[in-house]
């Protein structure tokens, strides 16, 4: 019988790296540059589902009355990535790894008890650009992105399905930083470890999250929490 494993799935923005909202502003600025209209809101809570796919389509369809072509959406995505590259050159200190993120992923990948997933509401190419920026290798990870997926539930489920191919996954834990991570994991009955880099743990504790950390520097503490959930 195959070894029973724990799958630990990470969000990206705010969970593995942070940009002090500059990435969101690049999204909005890129939209205005390409389409000539101001993006409706950079408060993602205004959208029914917090994925790039849903956020972009909701904004475009409400402003133009039709779906965006795949070619034009790709043009926007490329412009968005280029803006992020420019911002990283101008403000390198604003784009950082959440302390210990790469190391904890490396530790999990090197332990036969665990499988590692990434499930993010971002499109694949911008997400990989962000991971590469902080040297997190995604090649051995069960990764899922928002391309053509409307909900975060779909994205997380795809990562789970990948991990379960030829493996016995006995437990799943998600690691995230935002209200929509709490909502999604509650709907999917998956335990959540909260990450709040700024130390404002009450943001998630008040939503019922039991364990919230500021970083991954105490690896043993993180592993103990994973094992206890």
Residue 142 backbone phi and psi in degrees, to 5? -80, 95
Q: Coil, strand or helix: which one is 91?
A: coil
Find tokens 């002090």 and name the residue: 20
Residue 112, Cβ density class (10 Å: 0-12 exposed, 13-18 middle, ≥19 buried): exposed
Give the pLDDT of residue 42: 78
Residue 6 backbone phi and psi in degrees, to 5? -105, 130
pLDDT tens for the 229 residues of the chain, in order? 568 999 999 999 999 999 868 898 999 999 999 999 999 887 777 777 778 998 899 899 999 999 999 999 999 999 999 999 999 999 888 899 999 999 999 999 999 999 999 999 999 999 999 999 999 989 899 999 999 888 999 999 999 999 999 899 999 999 999 999 999 999 999 999 999 998 899 999 999 999 999 999 999 999 999 999 9
Determine contact, residues 145/124, Cβ cutoff 8 Å: yes
Give the pLDDT of residue 41: 82
CA–CA dist 143, 162 (Å, integer): 8
Q: Which helix (H) or strand (E) holds 18?
A: strand 17-18
This prediction has a pTM of: 0.94
Residue 192 backbone phi and psi in degrees, to 5? -120, 135
For residue 135 the two structure tokens come to 């040297």
Give the pLDDT of residue 94: 85
Determine contact, residues 56/68, Cβ cutoff 8 Å: yes
The separation between CA 159 and the C-alpha centre of its own chain, rounded to angstroms, equals 12
């Amino acid at each position: 019988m195959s070894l029973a494993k724990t799958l630990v799935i990470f969000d990206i923005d705010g969970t593995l790296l942070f940009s002090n909202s500059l990435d969101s502003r690049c999204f909005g600025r890129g939209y205005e540059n390409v389409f000539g209209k101001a993006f409706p809101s950079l408060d993602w809570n205004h959208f029914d589902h917090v994925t790039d796919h849903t956020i972009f389509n909701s904004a475009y369809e409400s402003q133009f009355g039709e779906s965006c072509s795949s070619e034009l959406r790709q043009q926007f995505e490329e412009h968005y990535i280029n803006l992020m590259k420019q911002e990283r050159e101008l403000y390198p200190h604003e784009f950082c790894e959440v302390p210990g993120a790469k190391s904890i992923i490396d530790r999990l990948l090197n332990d036969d008890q665990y499988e590692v997933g990434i499930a993010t509401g971002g499109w694949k190419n911008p997400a990989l650009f962000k991971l590469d920026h902080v040297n997190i290798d995604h090649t051995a990870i069960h990764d899922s992105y928002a391309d053509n997926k409307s909900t975060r539930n779909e994205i997380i489920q795809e990562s789970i399905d990948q991990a379960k191919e030829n493996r016995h996954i006995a437990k799943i834990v998600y690691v995230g930083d935002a209200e929509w991570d709490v909502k999604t994991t509650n709907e999917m009955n998956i335990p959540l470890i909260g990450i709040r880099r700024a130390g404002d743990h009450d943001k998630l504790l008040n939503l019922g999250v039991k364990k919230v950390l500021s970083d991954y520097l105490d690896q043993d503490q993180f592993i103990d929490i994973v094992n206890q959930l």
